[in-house]
Copies of this chain bind each other. A is one copy, B any other.
Amino acid sequence: MDSIGFAPHDHSSCIQDGIAAVDAQCRAEGLQFTPVRRRVLEILLQEHRALGAYEILDRLREEGLGSQPPVAYRALDFLVKNGFAHKIERLNAFIACTHPGESHAPAFLICRACDAVAEAQREPTQGQLGQAARDAGFVIERAVIEAEGLCPKCQHKSAA
């Protein structure tokens, strides 16, 4: 289970690679990667933090790409449904996927101080949750795994 997002990195390639990967996958699957959808993904990719739908909508509005809530929600629905973005339930907010195209059982580490969010990959059926489900005879179709706490950077700050 690896995780990115707290470490320094070439962030412009996050954006370029993210768009490129999604663009490729859309072509492959016959999905329409329209201007609004592309722009919303770009906006999300610019941050390693979660943005609220209305925060995204504000940016779209500034650019003349749409001004009513459904515009943002529809683009986000598309991205989430196809695994290009994720909703962080705890925050009512959305984040670009850092592993687009891959299989997908994400978990999130959310820093309460700087709002950074890292995405980690899990093995769905393994671990405590999978075991608890088997014990209960429950079949998991989808799981929300969101941890809140302090990222390495903010731990050092608060220790000072």
Contacts and interface: CB of A to CB of B under 8 A. Distances in A.
Interface of A: 1-3, 5-6, 89-90, 107, 109, 111-112, 118, 120, 122-123, 126-129, 131-133, 135-152, 155
Nearest to A121: B132
Interface centre among A135, A141, A143 (most CB of B within 10 A): A143
21 contacts: A2-B135, A3-B132, A89-B146, A107-B132, A109-B136, A109-B140, A118-B138, A122-B132, A127-B128, A127-B129, A129-B145, A133-B149, A136-B151, A139-B155, A141-B148, A141-B149, A141-B150, A143-B146, A144-B146, A144-B147, A144-B148
A131 B1 contact: yes
